[in-house]
């Protein structure tokens, strides 16, 4: 009985408390506009950047190989790995004696052949003069023969006198014909001598080339990489002697992501007549419009100015990225030890490419894009959510391909929750707008 009375009393007490509870007061702060930062979306000049990594290498490399055999009679005292040597330095020399003798022998043979040629010319001139004289004698003999034949018809001379004159005339004809035969053989003799002279000249040129091949002179300023021969050692034909690298230019084949490379090349493309096909890529791209620099990986302050020389054929098989080759002029002259070392072979470097986009782009802070949407300030200062398409991101900026128009007000804050239609108290931020323009030009960090 007491338990039932207690249960009924508890129910009545709970009902009384529910009936008399205080209702929550409506807060005026929950209905006030939310203060948010906005900026005006405007197209702005944009500087495209791309980065790639690669290994440095010299533009010129000389693998010295013996074209002739011989004993090493001279080796430069500083011809050692790592040494810098100037252009024109005699690096190595082989014994030239055998080749000098071969040249002297060939020159003597040439002198003999030229003497034979001079003798043939003299004999030809003598034969022509003799032929002229004998031809005149033949004319006289022919005239005498005609006269005797007329006298025989009249009975003034005997038959024997006519036969004698005929024999004399025939002998003279034979002599003239013999001289003509000698002259007809002169061109073939001259050709034979000229062929022998040409062969001798060829051997002389070969001998001089062999003699020149005994000396190894630096064709440009270089750095020695390795030496494979010692003084007094015999070098056989085809033997490797030393390996050197040119120091006038260095190049880097940078591996650049295809997306970056495509944007960069599009920005510097040159319009081509649709009816003419440009086979050379340099006719379609203005490499001079690309500014580039090489930076030693791990040392941000160690940099070298560079220029784009070409785009290598094909993609890198490992990373499937594009291969852009840049050239650094005078990589050793720019050295300042220890602040900046020389740009040597096999350094791992980063290459930065910069090009001005040909037209302004709509760029906003990357943080203002929320999973493919942006928040805009609509009519009546109400928040709007709109999907956008981002072309690419760079330097903390998102370049908008579609979904935004110039002049719209973008909310750069991230309200939580971001409810479409909620009232906003906008605050324009000109400093942020100026900062975006600087970052679009590559000045910002």
Residue ending a domain, among 192, 226, 246, is: 246
Is 302 part of any domain?
A: yes
Question: What pLDDT score was predicted for residue 269?
Answer: 84
Q: Are residues 115 and 193 in the same domain?
A: yes
Q: What does the pLDDT average to over 347-361?
A: 92
Range of the domain at 133: 98-212
Between β-strands 361-365 and 373-377, what pairing exists: parallel, antiparallel or unpaired?
unpaired
How far apart are alpha carbons 298 and 348 in whole angstroms? 9
Residue ending a domain, among 356, 391, 407, is: 356
How many domains does the chain fold into? 4
How far apart are alpha carbons 92 and 113 in whole angstroms? 36
CATH number at 74 reads 2.40.50.100
CATH number at 36 reads 2.40.420.20
Is 195 part of any domain?
A: yes
Local confidence band at 212 (pLDDT 50, 70, 90 cut-offs)? very high
Question: What pLDDT score was predicted for residue 27?
Answer: 41
How far apart are alpha carbons 256 and 315 in whole angstroms? 10
Is 136 part of any domain?
A: yes
Q: What does the pLDDT average to over 24-45?
A: 74
Q: Are residues 231 and 188 in the same domain?
A: no
Is 221 part of any domain?
A: yes
Q: Are residues 374 and 333 in the same domain?
A: no
What are the structure tokens assigned to 196, written together?
A: 């022998």
Is 151 part of any domain?
A: yes
Is 180 part of any domain?
A: yes
* Percent of all residues in the chain with a pLDDT value above 70, rounded to a whole number: 89
- Cis peptide, bond prior to residue 76, ω within 30 of zero: no
Is 188 part of any domain?
A: yes
Question: What pLDDT score was predicted for residue 3?
Answer: 53
CATH number at 326 reads 2.40.30.170
Question: What pLDDT score was predicted for residue 327?
Answer: 94
CB 72 within 8 A of CB 242: no
Q: Are residues 434 and 365 in the same domain?
A: yes
Residue ending a domain, among 356, 371, 401, is: 356
Q: Are residues 272 and 230 in the same domain?
A: no
How far apart are alpha carbons 422 and 402 in whole angstroms? 24
Q: What does the pLDDT average to over 68-83?
A: 94
Is 119 part of any domain?
A: yes
How far apart are alpha carbons 373 and 441 in whole angstroms? 25
Q: Are residues 424 and 350 in the same domain?
A: no
What are the structure tokens assigned to 406, written together?
A: 């110039």
Indicate left, alpha or beta for 108 from its phi (over 0: left) and psi (-120 to 50: alpha).
alpha
pLDDT digits (tens, 9 = 90+) for 376-392: 998 888 999 999 999 99
Local confidence band at 306 (pLDDT 50, 70, 90 cut-offs)? very high
């Amino acid at each position: 009985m007491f338990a039932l009375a207690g249960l009924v009393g508890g129910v009545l007490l709970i009902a009384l408390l529910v009936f008399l509870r205080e209702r929550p007061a409506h807060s005026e702060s929950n209905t006030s506009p939310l203060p948010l930062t906005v900026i005006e979306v405007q197209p702005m000049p944009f500087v495209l950047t791309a980065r790639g990594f690669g290994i440095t290498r010299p533009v010129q490399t000389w693998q010295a190989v013996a074209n002739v055999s011989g004993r090493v009679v001279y080796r430069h005292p500083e011809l050692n790995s790592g040494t810098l040597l100037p252009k024109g330095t005699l690096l190595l020399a082989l014994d030239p004696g055998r080749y000098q003798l071969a040249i002297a022998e060939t020159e003597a043979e040439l002198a003999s052949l030229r003497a034979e040629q001079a003798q043939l010319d003299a004999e030809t001139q003598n034969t022509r003069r003799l032929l002229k004289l004998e031809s005149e004698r033949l004319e006289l003999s022919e005239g005498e023969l005609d006269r005797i034949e007329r006298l025989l018809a009249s009975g003034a001379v005997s038959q024997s006198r006519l036969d004698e004159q005929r024999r004399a005339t025939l002998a003279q004809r034979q002599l003239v014909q013999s001289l003509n035969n000698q002259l007809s053989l002169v061109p073939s003799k001259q050709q034979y001598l000229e062929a022998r002279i040409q062969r001798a000249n060829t051997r002389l040129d070969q001998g001089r080339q062999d003699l020149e091949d005994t000396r190894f002179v630096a064709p440009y300023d270089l750095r020695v990489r390795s030496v494979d021969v010692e003084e007094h050692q015999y070098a056989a034909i085809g033997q490797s002697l030393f390996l050197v690298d040119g120091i006038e230019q260095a190049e880097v084949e940078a591996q650049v992501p295809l997306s970056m490379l495509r944007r960069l090349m599009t920005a510097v493309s040159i319009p081509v007549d649709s009816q003419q096909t440009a086979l050379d890529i340099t006719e379609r791209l203005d490499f001079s419009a690309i500014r580039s620099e090489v930076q030693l990986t791990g040392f941000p302050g160690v940099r070298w100015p560079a220029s784009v020389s070409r785009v290598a054929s094909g993609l890198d098989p490992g990373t499937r990225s594009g291969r852009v080759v840049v050239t650094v002029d005078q990589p050793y002259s720019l050295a300042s030890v220890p602040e900046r070392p020389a740009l040597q072979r096999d350094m791992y470097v980063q290459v930065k490419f910069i090009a001005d986009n040909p037209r302004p782009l709509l760029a906003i802070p990357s943080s203002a894009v929320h999973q493919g949407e942006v928040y805009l300030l609509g009519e009546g200062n109400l928040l709007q959510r709109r999907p956008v398409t981002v072309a690419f991101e760079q330097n903390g900026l998102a370049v908008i391909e579609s979904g935004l128009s110039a002049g719209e007000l973008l909310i750069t804050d991230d309200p939580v929750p971001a409810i479409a239609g909620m009232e906003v108290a906008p605050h324009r931020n000109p400093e942020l707008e100026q900062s975006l323009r600087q970052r679009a030009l590559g000045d910002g960090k």
